[in-house]
Amino acid sequence: MADENQEIGGIHFPFPFPPYPIQKDFMAELYKVLEGGKIGIFESPTGTGKSLSLICGALSWLRDFEKKKLQAEALLLAPGSGPPSSEKNSLLTSSSCQEPTDTPRPAGEPDWVTEFVQKKEERDLVERLREEQKHEEEETEALLRLSREMLDAGTGPEQLEQLECGEEHLVLAEYESDEERRGSRVDEAEDDLEEEHITKIYYCSRTHSQLAQFVREVLKSPFGKETRLVSLGSRQTLCVNEDVKNLGSVQLMNDRCVDMQRSKREKNGTGEDKPKRKRQKIQTSCPFYNHEQMELLRDEILLEVKDMEQLVALGKEARACPYYGSRFAIPAAQLVVLPYPMLLHAATRQAAGIRLQGQVVIIDEAHNLIDTITNIHSTEVNGSQLCQAHSQLLQYMERYRKRLKAKNLMYIKQILYLLEKFVAVLGGNVKQNPTTQSLSQTGSELKSINDFLFQSQVDNINLFKVQRYLEKSMLSRKLFGFTECFGVVLPSLSDSQENRGLAGFQQFLKSLQSGPTEDSPEEGQAVALRPASPLMHIEAFLAALTTANQDGRVIVNRQGSVGQSSLKFLLLNPAVHFAQVVKECRAVVIAGGTMQPMSDFREQLLACSGVEAGRVVEFSCGHVIPPDNILPLIICSGPSNQQLEFTYQRRELPQMVEETGRILCNLCNVVPGGVVCFLPSYEYLRQVHAHWDKTGLLTRLSVRKKIFQEPKRASQVEQVLMAYSKCIMSCSHSEGHLTGALLLSVVGGKMSEGINFSDDLGRCVVMVGMPYPNIKSPELQEKMAYLNQTLPRTQGQPLPGTVLIENLCMKAINQSIGRAIRHQRDFASIVLLDHRYARPSILAKLPAWIRDRVEVKATFGPAFAAVRKFHREKSHPSLV
C-alpha cells in the first residue's frame, strides 16, 4: 500500500493511505498538544483508525522535534555564524524537553540578589541538616542500647556454625538511612554513568494483546522501518527461563528471578569454595542473565520493530533475557510500548528505568483510567498473611539476631510490632493459628488512615522510615530466601511466644536434616501453593498507609476467623499518583474510543493533580460510518405497554422480565445475524434466563436465534465466542428458520470490553436497563462523600457524588454499545430499553456519534417498525 504524505496546516503527516477527514483533524490537534506541552483528552470511536492517527500524529511531531533540536545544537556549535541570541533561545526553548520552572526568575535581576538568595538557601539547608543530625544522634543512642540488649540475649555457637551452609546471603547488610548517606556522592556518580534518555513517546494500554496490536499498526505505518521501538512487559510475558516460568505466580517468578541474579553475583564475586547446602532453587543462577548477551539483544531490539512474541523468540535464540534486554533499550528508544501498571505506579516505573521528565505519554483505552489508578494503589492483606509474616520474621530474627546490626534489629522489631497490632485490630492474637481463631464480632468498618493508626496503637511509629527501610534493605526478599531454605512454622493454638521462638524452629530444622525434598518435581505443586512472600503484600499496605489522611481510607473486614479477615486500603484520590506524571511530562494524551463523560477526567484527575484548565485540550470526533448506517433507539415501553424502568426494585418483577423477553422475540424476528443483549449483572442474567425457560419464552426465542450466555469464567469466553460466531456464519449460508444467534452478556463483563462484534456478529445491540453501581457499597459511599467534600458544586447541579454514580453507569453503557460498529461499511441498530435514557442529562453523556442520531420512541410499535425497515434496507438493498 503506497504511503500518502499529507500536509495539514504546513505539517507533513505520512500516512499509509488517504486518511479520513476526522483522522486529519485528530493528527493536527494531537501535534498541537504535543508541541504546546498540553494535556489532551482525545475521543475517537472504535473503527475510525485511532491507533494509526496516534502513531502518525505523534511520530510526525517527534520527527520535527528532533530536527529542531539538531538545528539548535548546530547554532550553539557555530556561534560566529549563528543567528542572534534571541533566535537561539527560541530554538532551544522549542526543542527543550525540560519542564519549565514553576517560578520564573524576574528579568534583569541583579547578580548580588541572586547570590544573596542562594546563600540564604544554603544557610537554611545547613540548619535543617544540623537538626536532622541531632535527631540521628538521639536515634543512634537508642540503637546502641538496643544493640546491647540484643547481644545479651544472643544465640550460641551452634547457630554460628550453621551459617556455614551458604546462608550468608540471607543476613541483612548494615543499613544506612538516607540521612546518614546524605553527604555521600555515590548515588550521583552512579547516575552520571547511566545512559542519557533521548526524548521519546511512552505509549501504554491495558492489555498485552492491545499493545501487540499497536505494534503491528506501527509496522504498517510509514514510520515502521525507521522508529526505534521497545516493548516492555512483565516477567510472566517475557521470561524465557522455563524453570521460573513454571512457577506460575507473578510473585514467585519475581522473587526467584531476583534470587537467581543474586546467586550469579555471589558466584562471580568470590573464588572460595565454601561448603553449601544443596538447594538448587536458591543457588542456581539464570543462564539468560548475561550482560554481554543482553546488550547484544538490546541492539537487536532497537534495530527494527518487534512485538512481544518476536522479542521472546529472539531472547531464546540469543540466550539473553528479554525482560532485562528490553529495559536496556529504553534510553535510546523513540517509542516505548508498555502496560498501564508499569507507567502509573511510581515504584514500578523506577524499577524499570523509566524516566518521564520532559517526555510524552500517551495513555490509550483510557476510559477506565481513574479506576485503574485506584485499583493499582489500593491493596489488601488478610489475617493469615499478617500472622505468617510475623512468624517468619520472628524466626528470621531469632536465627540471625547476633549477626544483625542494631539498626536492622530495631526496624525488624518495629515491623513485628506493626504486624502484631494489625492482627489485634482484626480481633486476633498473633501468637495463635489464624485459621483456628474464630471471631465473636464480624462485619466491616471503614476508618480514616489516622483513626486506623490510632486504633492500632502504631501512630508513634514513623511509617515513612519503615517503608524506606523495607525498600532499601530488601528484607522481603531476604525473608523469602530464608523461608525457601527452611520452610514456614506457623504459630499454633497451644504454643506460647516464649516456648515457640528458636527452639521450635530448631526442631523444624532437625526434621529437614534427613534430606531436602522440596526440589523434587512431584512436589512442585505444593511449593507453588505455599505463599511466597507475605511481607511483600504487607509492604504495599504499609506504603499505602503513608498516603495523606484525606486521600484514603482503611476498611477493617472481620469474617469468621482471623485468617479470613482482612485490612484493605482504599485510595480515594487517584490524582495524588497521577500528579507526578503530569508534572514531569512535557505532554500527556489520554485517548479512547468512548471517553464520555469527560468531566470525570477534568475534575477528578487533572484539576486535582494541579493542572490548570488552560492546559487541558479536549478533542472528540464523529464516526466514519454514514449517518444512515446506525439506528440508535430509546424505547420507553414494551409490546404490552408496560413502562420500561429497570430500577433495582422493579427489574425482577415478573411483568418486567416477561416484557423484556417479548421485546427480544420481536427483535430477533427481524434482525439478521447476531443480537447481543447486555444485562446489568450475572445474577440478573441467571434469573431472567430461568424465568424465560419456565414461561416458554426461551423456546420462542430459540426458534429464530440460538441462545448463548456469557460465562463467568474467563477461560470459557473464547469457546463461547467461537460457537456463537460459527452459528452465525452457518446460518448466513443456509435457508432454515434459524437466522443467527442471541448472546446474553453482562455490562462490565468479559464481553463488554475488548470484544469486537463487527458485521453479522453484532447487527443489533440491546441494553436492558441502566447498570448503576451498588450505591450501598461502603467504598462507593466513601468515594461519594470524598467528592462532595473536595470538588466544587455548580449551583443548580447535583452533588459531585451523585454525578459520579451517573457517570460510572454511562461509562459502562458507552463501552458496551460501542461493540457493534467496527468499520466504515458496518451497520447496526442500538436499542436502549428504559425510559430514563430520554432524560437530557443522560442523553448528553452518550457518545456524540450516537447522541446526534438517537430517536426516542414512547411506544414499542413505531420502534419495532423502524428496526424492521432499517435491517430490511441494509440487508437487502436491492429489494428497496
- Give, in order, the Cα–Cα distances in Å from 509 to each of 483, 500, 516, 727, 796: 11, 14, 11, 61, 71
The chain-wide mean pLDDT, for the chain, equals 81
pLDDT, tens digit, for every residue of 49-68? 888 999 999 999 999 999 98
8 A C-beta contact, residue 703 and residue 737: yes
- Give, in order, the Cα–Cα distances in Å from 535 to each of 12, 397, 480, 572: 54, 14, 9, 24
Burial of 718 (0-12, 13-18, 19+ CB in 10 A): exposed
Q: Which CATH class is domain 630-875?
A: alpha beta
| Triad 822, 825, 826: Cα angle to 5° | 45
Lowest mean pLDDT among 260-264, 482-486, 683-687, 857-861: 260-264
Same fold? 379-486+533-573, 630-875: no
Q: Per-residue pLDDT for 764 more than 80? A: yes
pLDDT, tens digit, for every residue of 489-499? 555 433 444 34
The fraction of the chain above a pLDDT of 70, given in percent, is 77
Residues 6+ apart with CB under 8 A from 702: none
pLDDT for position 176: 66
Q: Cell 498485552: give the residue.
A: 208
> Mean pLDDT over residues 645-662, rounded?
92
Q: pLDDT grade, residue 179 (50/70/90)?
A: low
pLDDT, tens digit, for every residue of 549-569? 999 999 999 988 888 899 999
8 A C-beta contact, residue 853 and residue 847: no
pLDDT for position 464: 93
pLDDT for position 675: 93
pLDDT for position 185: 45
pLDDT, tens digit, for every residue of 199-225? 999 999 988 888 988 999 999 999 988
Helix, strand or coil for residue 434?
coil
Give the 3-state DSSP-derived string for 106-172, with helices as H, strands as E and coil as C.
CCCCCHHHHHHHHHHHHHHHHHHHHHHHHHHHHHHHHHHHHHHHHHHCCCCHHHHHHCCCCCHHHCC
pLDDT for position 139: 64
Q: Per-residue pLDDT for 537 more than 50? A: yes
Q: Please, what's the largest Cα pairwise distance for the chain? A: 98
Residues 6+ apart with CB under 8 A from 669: 704
pLDDT, tens digit, for every residue of 513-535? 333 333 333 333 333 334 457 88
pLDDT for position 495: 43
pLDDT for position 516: 37
Select the more confidently predicted residue: 13 or 39.
39
Hey, where are the domains in the chain?
Answer: 21-71+585-620, 201-261+286-357, 379-486+533-573, 630-875
> Mean pLDDT over residues 601-613, rounded?
89
Q: Cell 492474637: give the residue.
A: 429
Q: Per-residue pLDDT for 848 more than 70? A: yes
pLDDT for position 437: 83
Side-chain half-sphere exposure of 304, counting CA atoms within 13 A: 6
Q: Tell me, what amino acid is at 382?
A: N
437: left (phi over 0), alpha (psi -120 to 50) or beta: beta
Q: pLDDT grade, residue 140 (50/70/90)?
A: low
8 A C-beta contact, residue 283 and residue 166: yes
pLDDT for position 425: 92
**Could you please report the per-residue DSSP string of 480-532?**
HHHHHHH------SS--TTTSHHHHHHHHHHHHTT---TTSGGGHHHHHHS-S
> Mean pLDDT over residues 289-298, rounded?
90
Q: Is CATH 3.40.190.10 the classification given to domain 201-261+286-357?
A: no
pLDDT for position 105: 46
Distance CA 197, CA 806 (A): 43
Lowest mean pLDDT among 108-117, 209-218, 349-358, 812-821: 108-117
The fraction of the chain above a pLDDT of 90, given in percent, is 42
Q: Specify the long-range contacts of residues 460-464, CB closer than 8 Å, at least 24 apart.
A: 461/414, 461/417, 461/418, 463/542, 463/545, 463/546, 464/546
Distance CA 537, CA 385 (A): 8
Q: Is CATH 1.10.275 the classification given to domain 379-486+533-573?
A: yes
pLDDT for position 106: 47
> Mean pLDDT over residues 626-653, rounded?
92
Select the more confidently predicted residue: 163 or 5.
5
Distance CA 776, CA 12 (A): 54
The kind and range of the H/E element at 719 are helix 717-732
